[in-house]
Copies of this chain bind each other. A is one copy, B any other.
Amino acid sequence: MTKPATATATLTTFIDMLAAAGLQNHSMLCVGLDPEPAKFPTPLKGDASKIYDFCAAIVDATADLVMAFKPQIAYFAAHRAEEQLERLIAHIKRTAPQVPVILDAKRGDIGATSEQYAIEAFERYGADAVTLSPFMGFDSVAPYLKYHGKGAFLLCRTSNPGGGDLQNQRLASVDGTPLLYEYIAQLAQGPWNLNGQLGLVVGATYPAEIERVRALAPTLPLLIPGVGAQGGDAQATVKAGWRPGAPIVVNSSRAILYASSGDDFAAAARREALRTRDLLETARL
C-alpha cells in the first residue's frame, strides 16, 4: 500500500535539495547567473532580449555539474528583464528540477516590506532560497522563514574591498568581543534560526574568516562567492568551510559564463564548470 518515495516527493526543503544535488552531481559548485549583454558572445552580444537564451544555454551545459544555480537579480532588473528571469527559473525547474535555485537579491527591509520581497522571491520567481542582508535585524528576516523549507542566506562576511568596513568592526557589548560578522554567524546558528532555514554568505577571499564562521556556525550551509574571477582559492575555501554534514555552496559566475566569447561559449562554460567542480571535490579528499 505504501507508495515508493520518489526523489521529488521527499525533497521538501532547500537543505534537502542542496544535499541531494550535491550528491547526485558530486559537486559543491554553484553557477552564478549574472548576465551582462556586453560580454555575451556574438551574435547575442549587446542584446538584452537574449538574456534568457544566454543563461538557459549555460544552465543546459552545466546542470549535471552543479549543486545550485544562483541568478543575481540586479543583472536582470538593470535590463527590464524580470520576465526573462521568471522564464529562466521555470526552465531550471523543468529541465533540472533536482538543482535548487538561490535568488541572489540581498534584500533587507522592515517586516511588512520583507513580506513583499518574500512573495517576489518565493511565489513570483519560485526560488528555493534567497540571499538577505541582516542589517535591519530579525524582523527583517522573519517573513522569509514563514515559507517553511525555503532557504535564506544572510550576508555575514563579504570579501569585496569594503566588506570589512562594518563587518569587521569589533563589538564591545557581546561576550568575547566578537567582530560584527562573527556575531551575525552566532545569531544565524542560534536564536534567529527558528526552523533550520538559515545559511550564511561568506566570501572566498579570506579562508581564515571562512574557518572562523564555520566554527561559530558548525551546521549552517555557507554560500561562498568569489572563487574564479574574484580570485578566491578553491581548495583553501573547501578546507576552511566544508565539514561532513555542513555543506558549502561555492559560487563562480564570470569565469564560467564568459569562459569563451565565441559561439563555443556553452561548451567552454561546461569545461570551466567541470574543472572548478573537480578542483573543489579534490580538496574534499
> Which A residues lie at the B interface, using CB under 8 A?
34, 72, 74-75, 77-78, 80, 82, 106-114, 116-117, 119-120, 123-124, 133-141, 155, 158, 160-167, 169-174, 177, 180, 183-184, 187
Contacts and interface: CB of A to CB of B under 8 A. Distances in A.
A164 to B, nearest CB: 7
Contacts of A183: 166, 169
A44 to B, nearest CB: 18
B109 A74 contact: yes
A160 B111 contact: yes
Contact of A180 (B124, B160, B169): B169
A113 B172 CA distance: 32
A282 B166 CA distance: 38
B158 A180 contact: no
Contacts of A166: 134-137, 180, 183-184
User: In this complex, which of A113, A124, A141 has the most chain B Cβ atoms within 10 angstroms of its Cβ?
Assistant: A113
30 contacts: A34-B113, A72-B113, A74-B109, A74-B114, A75-B116, A77-B117, A78-B123, A106-B108, A106-B109, A108-B108, A110-B158, A111-B161, A134-B166, A135-B155, A135-B166, A135-B167, A136-B155, A136-B166, A136-B167, A137-B160, A137-B161, A137-B166, A138-B161, A138-B162, A138-B165, A139-B162, A141-B162, A170-B173, A171-B171, A172-B177
> How many copies of this chain sit in the oligomeric assembly?
2
Contacts of A184: 166
Given A111-B161, A137-B162, 19 more contacts: A72-B113, A74-B107, A74-B109, A75-B113, A77-B117, A77-B120, A78-B117, A78-B119, A106-B109, A135-B166, A136-B155, A136-B162, A136-B167, A137-B167, A139-B160, A165-B187, A169-B180, A170-B173, A171-B171
A108 B114 CA distance: 15
A158 to B, nearest CB: 5
Contact of A162 (B78, B82, B140): B140
Contacts of A160: 110-111, 136-137, 139-140
